[in-house]
Amino acid sequence: MELSKAIVLTITALCVAVNEEVIFRGAIVKGLLRFGANVTIFVPAVFFGLIHLGNLLGGGDLVFGIYQTLWAIAGGIALTALRLRNGSIYPAILFHFILDITEYFSTGENGVHQTGFSINSLTIFLILNVLFAIYAYIAFKKSKYNVINSDVSINRGIANLLTKIYAKTFMFTEKLLKKLVFEAYFT
């Protein structure tokens, strides 16, 4: 893989992880805390999964899109439980980034895949996500310290910092992409 493509995929994975986690494990979770643990964990996870159906509109493979939706729901359950268990959004961002960068580097493209993958590979990844969701949910339920029990919410300083990181990452990505496009077409 070319260095420029690897950089773009890395930045894309970082931007996606920060953006999706701030929305789904940040704002939506904070808004749902008053409804209890199960609503706070499962509602954002379903929204998170369904939003991935949008990749089909970008020309993504139908089978991959369905599996991606299912494992995003399972992953959403796990990441939300992780967020509530730890009282921090950072572990969710990090884990999301690791998942995305692994996918992007193994396929050579970002989350919209036009080519099919084997059902066996997709099923294995789905099973791993479901197992991770079960483990994270049980760990959350067994923990004495969690956001629901301690009434801890997202710190405004953390939210502001994440917003600044996201904005700077977006500006850097835009500059890098302009440079790469310029070099590709005009040199």
Q: Which of 114, 130, 101 is nearest to 64 (CA)?
A: 114
- When the pLDDT of each residue in the chain is averaged and rounded to a whole number, the result is 81
pLDDT digits (tens, 9 = 90+) for 85-120: 888 889 899 999 998 888 888 877 776 666 667 888
Local structure of residue 89 (DSSP, 8 states): S
Structural tokens at position 116: 């099919």
| Residue percentage of the chain with pLDDT more than 90 | 34
- Rounded to an integer, the average pLDDT of 142-155 is 60
**1 pLDDT band (50/70/90 cuts)?**
confident
Handedness of CA 153, 154, 156, 158 (dihedral sign): positive
Q: What are 47-70's pLDDT values in tens digits?
A: 999 998 888 887 878 888 889 899
